[in-house]
Structure 1
């Protein structure tokens, strides 16, 4: 009998289960691709302890790194930042963005209609490409690609990430 490590990882159909964070005063929208396994377990964005998203946002805004979901929401809202993911549901193996297939996108228009979004930022190349490929009903909003805060993006150290992410301010 093959060990757990020897078993081929299987695709699973997964639905995004938590809401976007925004309010009527949100001015920028940061989009990820799809929540990681850790984020899905925590039911909130960027839940993997090695993901640098919250550290980067705290550093560039001069705030303390938020620990709880409520602190994270407060930080975003205080800086007029909205976050969500491009994908509502897909087939995926674990947290592997490269395995994503059979995509259904989130209704990005719902945020745009109910806020003051001026620009959209993609957290990484995958989110950028997914947006360009699948989101067809959004026009008139500049789309910017930022380097991914994922631990898989080892080419970008923390200081370099922060420098690039200052663009959202």
Structure 2
């Protein structure tokens, strides 16, 4: 493992949502590979874009590391809109080493006011314990007037090896229950 120093990361990927979104899925902060690709969960070994489509009986054509990056991103956005899913991250900025959520400090949360004001979202799902803890620390009370529920889903990161693909799909099925 490389000895990396922490760096201050500012979230530059725009949230995916529209006025029909009914569910919001939140990560913590995009990984270096995702920031490089300009979209969420784009590390080649991250299982998010295999798990979520499986929940809805679909498979995406373009892999996370596909040379046609724009087509891969467009395909993912189309999928999210089709299923009324919004996608973003809890944090706007933080200090982090690589993609290790355990190294996060000096956090600033994103502002979700517009998303909750302009969509019928009532259910929030956090992909991993860190995102869930940060949501509860910074956001749960602030946005309680929107009548939201928030659940923690297991991380789809390759670091979460104890959750195999089948177990992840079973856990993520909670998203489709409307």
TM exceeding 0.5? yes
Equivalent positions of 1:98-117 (< 5 A) are 98-117=102-121
Question: Normalising to structure 1: TM-score of the pair?
Answer: 0.93
Where structure 1 has 5 or more consecutive residues not aligned to the other structure, the ranges are: none
Give the Cα–Cα distance (whole angstroms) in 1 for the partners of residues 47 and 171 of structure 2. Answer: 13
Question: How big is the shift at 1:151?
Answer: 0.7
Which residue number in structure 2 is paired with residue 19 of structure 1?
A: 14
The answer to whether structure 1 residue 137 and structure 2 residue 142 are counterparts is yes
The offset of 1:9, in angstroms, is 2.1
Which range is displaced more, 32-41 or 129-138?
129-138
Q: Is the 8 A contact 1:37 1:95 kept in 2?
A: yes
Query: What residue is the counterpart of 2:99 in the other structure?
Result: 95
Structure 2 counterpart of 1:127: 131
Distance 1:96 1:24 in 2: 33
1:50 maps to: 45
RMSD: 1.3
Q: Is the 8 A contact 1:28 1:117 kept in 2?
A: yes
Q: Indicate yes or no: 2:73 matched with 1:69.
A: yes
Q: How many residues align?
A: 164
Which stretches of structure 1, 4 residues or longer, exceed 4 Å deviation after superposition?
none
Partner of 1:37: 32
Residues 123 and 66 of structure 1: CA distance in aligned 2, closer, same or farther (over 3 Å): farther
Please give the TM-score of this superposition, normalised by the length of structure 2.
Answer: 0.89
The gaps in structure 2 that reach 5 residues or longer are 63-71
Residue-by-residue CA offset, 1:72-127 (whole Å, 9 max, x unaligned)? 00000000000000000011111111111100110122211111102000001111
Specify the alignment match of 2:67 in structure 1: none
Asked whether 1:155 is paired with 2:155, we answer no
